[in-house]
Structure 1
Amino acid sequence: MVDDCSTAGPHSSLKPWLNNCLLSHFIISISSLNFWADLKQVERGGGEEKMLSKMLACGKVYISESRNRAALESIERAAKLFPEAAIVNKFIDDTYNRVGYTIVSRLTPKPSQDSCPLKDAVFAIVKVALETIDFELHSGTHPRLGVVDHICFHPLAHASLDQTAVVAKSLAADIGSKLKVPTFLYGAAGERGRLLDSVRRELGYFKPNSGSILWSGGSKSESLPLEPDAGPTQVSPTKGVILIGTTHWVANYNVPVFSTDIAAVRRIAKHVSERGGGLPSVQAMGLAHGDDITEVACNLLKPNEVGGDRIQVEVERLAKEEGLCVGKGYFTDLIPDEIIERYMKLSSH
């Protein structure tokens, strides 16, 4: 960063370092500008070759662990073995005992079933997570179904859902055959047209298994109510299951409510969600988040139409009716433009 390069006084020994730092920042900036210029050229109808080189996709990987730093360090080292893919964001929530990684890579026009940097990096993350984390020892107030709870691929720039679906299907097949974990597909990657929330509902995701607010330990049964798309039909309590899908961009926006009245916050979440007659394309649930806070945790399926600001206003309105106070909400990831820009900076090094 330029701020890190600033210096004062006649320290001539710093000049070579300063020049290199400024040059590096200049190259990164030019690389990002060239990327956006190429995208604009494609959008104007030209530059087919440039379009093919600007196909990007990201995978969001949600892991049921945040407090075991040694495990997370091993997971991140595994991802770095694939330099064409980059972790552009990491969101740790120690209260939920959950971490989310956003990994980005370029795609070819026809991604290979055998080799793809994005798939390879995500597979490495999954493999190490399963080796270093015991699902039976996990406890938290965020619902989950496995060590690696959820992986979602999103097309960026000029990639398509079909291209990212190829990556998702190939990853699911590898996880099922090589790591022996039941894997379920949804969205554009699923042949049955299943939605994420419907698969989760059938697998018991929304029902706390240890009291009214806590998810603790692994599955109480080795049998599954659904047949997985890949992997065994029996579930290991130390690993759980994995859901993998492909959709257009989904944003996660959480609003803290300063109350321990979980029933009241669940009522708010129900009335915010489309399923409960609330905002279109919004899914929401109430989750305990620490000793004095309960969150309205939202998935925004069409964030360009219903964004965080609208969620915030609606939660505040409903909370007022319940006599509760609300804090400022937050997103758990960057927006797509920021993800692309950060990837371009990292890949230009």
Structure 2
Amino acid sequence: MKSLLACCKVYISESRNISSLESIERAVKIFPEVVIVNKFTDDAYNRVGYTLVSQLPMEEASTGSNPLKNAVFDMVKEALRTIDLQVQRGSHPRLGVVDHICFHPLSLASLNQVASVAKSVAINIGQNLEVPTYLYGAAHEEGRTLDSLRRELGYFRPNSQGKEWAGSLELEAQTVKPDVGPSKASKSTGVVVIGATKWVDNYNIPIQSTDLGPVKRISRLVSGRGGGLDSVQAMALAHGEKSTEVACNLLDPVKVNADQVQRRVEELAAREGLTAGKGYFTDFPQVEIIERYVEGVKEGA
């Protein structure tokens, strides 16, 4: 589709509160130009990811007429109204009720254009909803990476006994100053992280073990940071009562794809005496996302 298309992925730290999710989804339906092309729910993680697509206006992408910007803001507003981080728990790390928002260019849109939208959304959330908001990628003036920001904020350390994250985080003790919004986070909302990058594939591989130790070793050795596959980020997470996952971000899927990651994890798991199951994507590929957007626009016409 030869137009300026932007994709936005919104990750909400809740999957079990159906009325809350319905309220969040209704916020998008007000904007017929915006299509939810995917909803990925994981009850073990107590987390849901929405993938939204919309055309960008031909004028400056950060103007008030941008339906994608307005839809994302309204989703965040509803999530903060209906979800309390203090009572939320799950085996996936999170920094807030709305844990992560990322924008990606599609079709003819540029990274700079979606970065402009990301920064505009961040300003609205930080100032109007009074939530500490952090930027990364092309939306951040120094191009800070998502994993480095999360590391600074203590994202990867469980805050409760066992393998879960439960209740609010003590983010007020952090020294990382938000890019927008108040310096202190509310215990009920946490913070929001917003960025803009080129396309990222999310690929999770189940390991038939409940022992996080060896799976952490596998995750470290498969990741670029641990000397493994370049452009791959990975972390080990408990997933249900009988398995663990190597959850991966493929930052450059053309350079290092899911098949390569799958083979490497299988090799590393075998060294640990473990079995790696077949991995799965949490979203559709770019081409199919555009196709689903086109179909969604036709259905709504």
Q: Say whether residues 1:308 and 2:258 are aligned partners.
A: yes
Conserved in 2, the CA contact under 8 Å of 1:284 and 1:298? yes
- The alpha carbon displacement at 1:193 in A equals 1.9
Conserved in 2, the CA contact under 8 Å of 1:113 and 1:166? no
Correspondence for 1:182: 132
Correspondence for 1:27: none
Within 5 Å, which residues of 2 pair with 1:88-237? 88-109=37-58, 110-237=60-187
Letter matched to residue 102 of structure 2 = C
Q: Give 2:27's match in structure 1, choosing from 78, 81, 89.
A: 78
Compute the RMSD of aligned alpha carbons: 1.0
Conserved in 2, the CA contact under 8 Å of 1:273 and 1:283? yes
Conserved in 2, the CA contact under 8 Å of 1:145 and 1:241? yes
Within 5 Å, which residues of 2 pair with 1:250-269? 250-269=200-219
- The alpha carbon displacement at 1:307 in A equals 1.1
- The alpha carbon displacement at 1:269 in A equals 0.4
- The alpha carbon displacement at 1:214 in A equals 1.2
Within 5 Å, which residues of 2 pair with 1:39-78? 39=2, 54-78=3-27
Conserved in 2, the CA contact under 8 Å of 1:85 and 1:104? yes
Letter matched to residue 141 of structure 1 = S
Cα distance in 1 for residues equivalent to 2:221 and 2:21: 36
Q: Say whether residues 1:294 and 2:244 are aligned partners.
A: yes
Q: Give 1:242's match in structure 2, choosing from 192, 216, 234.
A: 192
- The alpha carbon displacement at 1:212 in A equals 4.4
- The alpha carbon displacement at 1:178 in A equals 0.7
SS of the residue 2:5 aligns to = strand
SS of the residue 2:19 aligns to = helix
Cα distance in 2 for residues equivalent to 1:315 and 1:264: 12
Cα distance in 2 for residues equivalent to 1:150 and 1:112: 20
Once the two structures are superposed, residues 85-128 of structure 1 have per-residue CA deviations (whole angstroms, 9 ceiling, x without a partner) of: 11110000000000000000001242133231111111110000
- The alpha carbon displacement at 1:176 in A equals 0.7
Q: Give 1:277's match in structure 2, choosing from 205, 227, 233.
A: 227
Conserved in 2, the CA contact under 8 Å of 1:265 and 1:294? yes
Cα distance in 2 for residues equivalent to 1:159 and 1:88: 18
Conserved in 2, the CA contact under 8 Å of 1:223 and 1:235? no
Cα distance in 2 for residues equivalent to 1:115 and 1:183: 22
Letter matched to residue 232 of structure 2 = V
SS of the residue 1:230 aligns to = coil
Letter matched to residue 63 of structure 1 = I
Higher relative contact order (CA 8 A, sep 6+): 2
Cα distance in 2 for residues equivalent to 1:261 and 1:336: 35
How many pairs does the alignment contain?
A: 298
Correspondence for 1:18: none
Greater Rg, structure 1 or structure 2?
1
Cα distance in 2 for residues equivalent to 1:165 and 1:113: 13
- The alpha carbon displacement at 1:219 in A equals 1.6
Cα distance in 1 for residues equivalent to 2:86 and 2:75: 19
Conserved in 1, the CA contact under 8 Å of 2:237 and 2:245? yes
